[in-house]
Structure 1
Amino acid sequence: MVQGSGDALLEQLRARLAPAQWPLPLKRLPKGTALVGGAVRDGLLDRLQDQPDLDLVVPTDAIALTQALAQELHGTCVVLDTERSIARLVLGGWTVDIARQDGACIEDDLWRRDYRLNAIAVSLQPWGQLWDPTGGLNDLQQGCLTAVSETNLTDDPLRLLRGLRLAAEIPFTICSQTMGWIERHASRLPEAAPERILAELQRLVRGEHADAAIATLKSVPLLRPWAAEGQPPAPSDTEGMSKEEIAVALPLARLTALISDDGMIQLRASRALRQRCERLRFWQQRTGLAPECLPETDRLRLHDELERDLPALALQLPMPEKEIWLRRWRDADDPLFHPRAPIDGNSLVNALEIQPGPLLGRLLHHLKLERAFKRIQTTTEAIEEAKHFLTRESEAL
């Protein structure tokens, strides 16, 4: 997976990292600064993003340095860990984490990291030296994921989950000893901050190799406190879907299959994310393979609640139903898949002299239903149907 060695490898890495394009000039960094972790790993694997997250290790006070850089470069400094002197510099869409070196030298720092392929560093100031004390380059070449040590995993239990997240993003095989450590200490994952656990899971479910990683994850009790018990595996047949649709639908379906509604609350997911998972789970269980059989009012509610995330529900549908649903969902003017009332409340108030309140709300919902199933289409038809509705309502009193 990694090609080249020595000076040729360093030059290749520099070309891929392209530090001249970073918003942080290298000359502003103190002597002894090194780039570590994911950017080095991904640079060696030639899988860097356009704006990779950068992790720097400096021999000085990282927080004071980050604050000074933020002021000089008109960025933002966020203090992440006062005790260990770690801060984040945000510059025009780039994120640079700066940490004080842990130990007397960079090698000491690298020996304290999680996985060997994350324990590779390259000097930035001055450029030109590659450190790999634990054997991370060999792991990259062999396509395996090996923890630096058992103690390093338990020092921060989030690292137990991170190994599976890395395997979801890159086709690594977790070595048997490391897998044994993950299984042995799985019950310690709740010691990590819930927000950090959720962040790792959200990256895991987006991974190109997530299905294989999730299968391994389910065989290890890492997620037991938050797991969606009895939930079937997330559907993964994306035939007929665009890359953009897959990128939204598949991670949501995977996360819903992994974590229960209560688990999402415990992991402190945002209200919006919790609602998306709750609604998808509800309609997955309610509709099964035959959503067309739902009553009209339920079909309208389904499309109202899942409008944005309908492709995640469509994942479980067989062909040709999935193809039909996706085609209709892509049509922004489809009155059922994108339900809208044919007339707004103010227009109804003016045209019919109806007062705002619950009756107006029921009327708007009724008109939305009528439009969704194409019984009315124009504003004139909507007003006439509204008159009939109000007559029926008054007669029912």
Structure 2
Amino acid sequence: MARQLMTRLQPERWPIPLDRLPAGTVLVGGAVRDGLLNRLPDHPDLDMVVPADALEQVRKLSREFGGACVVLDRERDMARLVLGSWTIDLARQDGDDLTADLLRRDYRINAIALTLTPDPKLLDPSGGLADLRARRITAVNEQNLLNDPLRLLRALRLAAELSMTIDETTLEMIARHRHLLPKVAPERIQAEVLKLVQANSADQAIHLLHSLQLIAPWCSDQPQRTFNADALTKQEQQLALPLARLTQLLSDQGVNELRFSRKQIQRSKRLRRWWMRDQQQGADTLNERERLILHQELEEDLPAFTLAWPMEQQREWLSRWRDQEDKLFHPSAPLNGRTLQTKLGLPPGPRLGELIDHLCLEQAFGRIRSQDDAIQCARAWIHKPL
């Protein structure tokens, strides 16, 4: 099994030859787990444990091979080497020996090590291999979860990514200590949530999140919608589902408190606002101005907006959205401000902006089909009574 794992890892592709790593280096964590599951990405993150002097070893390797040395935790002697698309983390062994180090980790499936020797061996002191075979996530022990409460949330993220179940005793531990999660830096919680909503089995994990009330301080109180993504292409699903799940999961206050990016916050708030408007008044019944604003605000995220709709209505809107020439679903002004100033002698100011909005609306609903149409429409609008 160790030799098969080494073959899958393809160390000959790594940016650093094995013989340049410190003596006694072992590979741990996600690369070992994902390699055993045969789900390695092209450039897996390589987490390694070294006997001593991890930071100094990373500095030495960065000088020899180029790249950047990033200090992750000076006190615990952890550093990262970034070489192009590769990241290699080195950490000093935590404890008297490697077994002690592995037994301080979060979940058994993450507590497996691979020696990087000509005759590689797997070290599995907690039973991670059995858990991988059973597709189960089990805590190494309860205290390890308390040492870093983010690990409570990580179990659900791993379950979503790996399509695994969480051991019942571990679930009890998570429920028992859920009050500790708000003590974790919000940026770290945000990173786990983002990974969770992007995962294939995210919906089951989100249901479990609600059952455990694990992120209750940040959750939305809106009714849960059932999403149907069958009408979307795979690429559209990758765009729409994470945003829809995030918007349904977290409140506006929650996305702010967890310090999501400004763009993520804006997208989530817009989607939530239009969802609520759609519940009050169906999108097909909006007047022209309201429809235009909807498509201006949700042009990028329209598939997410339609996820809870009946299939027939969803297909109709998606068909139009996929047509980049559809002027309602991809609204734009037929003439820019500079052209209008040149041809019509208009000064810059609010009235020019109002005219551009008017032309955009007329084009969106098919009443402008050419630049000549746009000029005539603009002249008519300018000369209409105020």
TM-score computed with the length of structure 2 as normaliser? 0.97
State the AA in 1 paired with 2:156: L
* Alignment partner of 1:233 out of 215, 224, 229: 224
Q: Cα offset for 1:297?
A: 1.1
2:126 equivalent to 1:146: no
* Structure 2 match to 1:193: 185
Deviations 1:41-80 (A, max 9, x none): 1111111111111111111222222222223222122211
Q: Aligned pair in 2 of structure 1 residues 234, 81: CA closer, same or farther (>3 Å)?
A: farther
Q: 1:371-386, aligned counterparts within 5 Å?
A: 371-386=363-378
Matched residues in 2 for 1:83 and 1:54: separation? 21
| Partner Cα distance (2:247, 2:118) in 1 | 47
1:116-173 Cα shifts (integer Å, max 9, x gaps): 0100000125651211000100111111110000000010000000000111011212
Aligned to 2:270: 279
Shift of 1:369: 0.6
Matches within 5 A, 1:49-64: 49-64=41-56
Tell me the amino acid that sits aligned with residue 278 of structure 1. K
> 2:250 matched to which residue of 1?
259
* 1:14 maps onto 2:45 in alignment: no
State the secondary structure of the residue aligned to 2:120.
strand
Provide the rounded CA distance (Å) in 1 between the counterparts of 2:119 and 2:334.
Answer: 64
Corresponding position of 2:209 = 217
Q: Where in structure 2 are the equivalents of 1:85-96 lying within 5 Å?
A: 85-96=77-88
Identity of aligned residues (%): 53
Matched with 1:303 is 295
Q: Report the CA distance between 1:198 and its aligned residue.
A: 0.6
CA distance in 1, matches of 2:272, 2:142: 37
**Of residues 342, 356, 373 in structure 2, which corresponds to 1:350?**
342
1:117 aligns with 2:122: no
The number of residue pairs the alignment matches comes to 385
Q: Quick check: 1:321 aligned with 2:313?
A: yes
Kindly report structure 1 stretches of 4+ aligned residues shifted beyond 2 Å: 232-236
What SS class does the counterpart of residue 47 from structure 2 fall into? strand
Quote the offset at 1:295 in angstroms. 1.3
Q: Distance in 1 between matches of 2:225 and 2:71?
A: 38
**What's the CA shift for 1:233?**
2.4
Alignment of 1:352-371 (within 5 A): 352-371=344-363
**1:339 corresponds to:** 331
Could you say what secondary structure the match of 1:90 adopts? strand
**1:58-112 residue CA offsets vs partner (Å, 9 max, x unmatched):** 1122222222222322212221111111122221112222211111211111000
- Between stretches 288-297 and 383-392, larger displacement belongs to 288-297
Structure 2 distance, partners of 1:217, 1:330, is 34
**Which residue of structure 1 aligns with residue 237 of structure 2?**
246
Matched, 1:76 2:68: yes
CA contact (8 A) 1:234 1:253 kept: no
Q: Which amino acid aligns with 2:211?
A: S
Instruction: Measure the CA separation in 2 of the matches of 1:360 and 1:72.
Output: 60
Show the counterpart of 1:6: none
Tell me the amino acid that sits aligned with residue 63 of structure 1. Answer: L
For structure 1, the residue ranges without an aligned partner over 5 or more in a row are 1-8
Q: CA deviation at 1:24?
A: 2.3
Q: Tell me the distance in 2 between the aligned counterparts of 1:10 and 1:307.
A: 49
Tell me the residue number matched to 1:23: 15
RMSD: 1.2
